Structure 1
Amino acid sequence: MTATAQTAEEHGAAPRLAAMPEDWSRALAVVAHPDDLEYGVASAVAEWTASGKEVTYVLATRGEAGIDTLEPAEAARVREAEQRASAAVVGVTEVEFLGHRDGVLEEGPALRRDIAAAIRRHRPELVVTLNHYDTWGDAPGSPWNTPDHRALGRAVLDAVGDAGNRWIFTDQLELDGVLPWPGVRWVAVAAAPTVTHAAAVGEEAARKGLASLLEHRAYIEALTDEDPEAYARSIVHGGLDQYAQRNGGRRAVAFELHPR
């Protein structure tokens, strides 16, 4: 334990978060649904792309089960378009959809196979995903996480290892012509109950993160009667402010970082 962390704990405060690594050039963000990244991570993505880093989005589903008032095929069309527009706001030009069914993602070889293939294609040094734990937060009675998030996040952590092993999913190497990729150095889990690292976010990146979430207007309007801008602002700015005290007073997106 560092002296800073020890002092913080002695005073009843959470220790300061370590800075996210910056010595990388390519990241792959893998989540379950359109909008998953925009509830916080997008502001960090805006910082990364502004500094010249390359970020690609991979979504397991098209979010077709996410809007009660729209049939799945129409919801998928709307939400895919919203996700592509949202990604563009923060400098992401490549967005892939794996085509798994929304709401019934299954942790297992099929999902791992598709994620490993994406890792092998894009060859990232950093992989980003979302909370795979049972709950949002670690306090008793914290809100229950969804099955898709739990299955997807765990599959991502496993698929990173699969992608580097030439004896797993060998058909990809033979038919698709991709090579094993053992070059992932970290997996960063956003919105985990216990976080370890922070990506500082400036004013412009925060503005882009907010605008990115607002591109999901059809989803937000189906989700809440609150004014979309007020809703999005409370989510994005509230999340960035949450970890400022543990990041030297600077707004931040926080992650649980797993070195590989």
Structure 2
Amino acid sequence: MSDSLTSSDQAAHSDLPALPALPEDGVQRVLCVVAHPDDMEYGTSAAVRAWTQAGVEVTYLLLTRGEAGMAEAPEVVGPLRALEQRRACDLVGVRDLLYLDHPDGMLEAGLPLRRDIARVMRRVRPHLVLTANFDLEAYGSYNQADHRAAGLSAVDAARDAANPWVFRELLEQEGLEPWSARAMLIAGHPDPTHAKQVDADQVQAAVESLKAHEAYLEHVTGHPAPEEFIPEILRHGGEAAGTAHAVTLRVVDLGGLSGSEE
């Protein structure tokens, strides 16, 4: 996507207080909810690599297969992009890659999408949920419609997943107990609150994970090479955090940052 998910648009000025580290004590599972293949690969996958190297189980939930994102027919593009996403996941240690198969380019923030995301949240039972910036304006332009729908739906679904009286069929028919994540993490936000420190190897893993989307990147006219801008994004994040490299995040406490849920 040309208005890609970045970990920071936005690096903080050096005279501002350093962003605090992301609270992660006891975190064992993270669920990343985004619209398309490649949406996690614009810097944020460096944090994913740091998590997986620390033994955290990271699951990617893609709401579409990105089948409308190239010139070729969707029935050709969807499987191709899924293959490239699988390669990207392998490079950062993500085993669990899930799709909801909602239509690319026509993602709707409504009850059906919220229910589908909440279902996965109850199955995965993540301590942290990560999504992308869903502001109307982002990345120097208007944010893509699917990105807005995906982020807003992820936020709403996090509360739905915790409420036994919303989508009651998930419990009554599917046996999925309510689950409350500790916090929502928003990547690419212009006003981050926390940072996830990453090292040089994790920066390189982020570069390689975006390069795995070879066919898609060839389709995007004028797209810079990943090695030309991913390290810079993460360096700016590091400046905001008082370290060499970092992924910056806006963290919204869902009531469990100090908890120890299993």
Instruction: Name which of 236, 244, 248 aligns with 1:242.
Output: 236
SS of the equivalent of 1:61 reads coil
Quick one: structure 1 residues 163 and 240, their matched pair in 2 at CA, closer, same or farther if it must change by over 3 Å? same
SS of the equivalent of 1:80 reads helix
The answer on 1:48 being equivalent to 2:45 is: no
The 1-side partners of 2:253 and 2:86 are apart by 30
The 2-side partners of 1:225 and 1:28 are apart by 31
SS of the equivalent of 1:39 reads coil
Instruction: Name which of 38, 41, 57 aligns with 1:38.
Output: 41
The 1-side partners of 2:20 and 2:42 are apart by 21
The answer on 1:83 being equivalent to 2:85 is: yes
C-alpha RMSD of matched pairs (Å): 1.6
Instruction: Name which of 118, 123, 126 aligns with 2:125.
Output: 123
Superposition TM-score, scaled by structure 1 size: 0.89
Question: Counterpart of 1:194?
Answer: 191
Question: Counterpart of 1:173?
Answer: 171
Per-residue deviation at 1:163? 0.2
**Native 8 Å contact 1:43 1:209 kept in 2:** yes
Instruction: Name which of 5, 18, 21 aligns with 2:20.
Output: 18
1:98-151: CA deviation from partner (whole Å, max 9, x where unpaired)? 0100011111111100110010000000000000111125xxxx3110111111
Question: Counterpart of 2:202?
Answer: 205
Matched to 2:190, the amino acid is P
Superposition TM-score, scaled by structure 2 size: 0.89
The answer on 1:72 being equivalent to 2:74 is: yes
1:173-208: CA deviation from partner (whole Å, max 9, x where unpaired)? 1222211112x0010000012111110110111111
SS of the equivalent of 1:110 reads helix
Identify unmatched segments of 5+ residues in structure 1: 1-8
Quick one: structure 1 residues 99 and 251, their matched pair in 2 at CA, closer, same or farther if it must change by over 3 Å? same
Q: How many residues align?
A: 242
**Native 8 Å contact 2:197 2:243 kept in 1:** no
Per-residue deviation at 1:90? 0.4
User: In terms of Rg, which structure is larger?
Assistant: 1
Question: Counterpart of 2:159?
Answer: 161
Q: Percent identity?
A: 41
**Native 8 Å contact 1:135 1:193 kept in 2:** no
SS of the equivalent of 2:234 reads helix
The 2-side partners of 1:53 and 1:159 are apart by 22
Matched to 1:144, the amino acid is Y
Question: Counterpart of 1:4?
Answer: none
Matched to 1:223, the amino acid is V
Per-residue deviation at 1:22? 1.7
Q: Between the two structures, name the one with larger relative contact order (CA 8 Å, sep ≥ 6).
A: 2
**Native 8 Å contact 1:105 1:151 kept in 2:** yes
The 1-side partners of 2:196 and 2:164 are apart by 33
Matched to 2:217, the amino acid is I
- Map 1:210-225 onto structure 2 (within 5 A): 210-225=207-222
SS of the equivalent of 1:96 reads strand
Identify unmatched segments of 5+ residues in structure 2: 1-11, 255-262
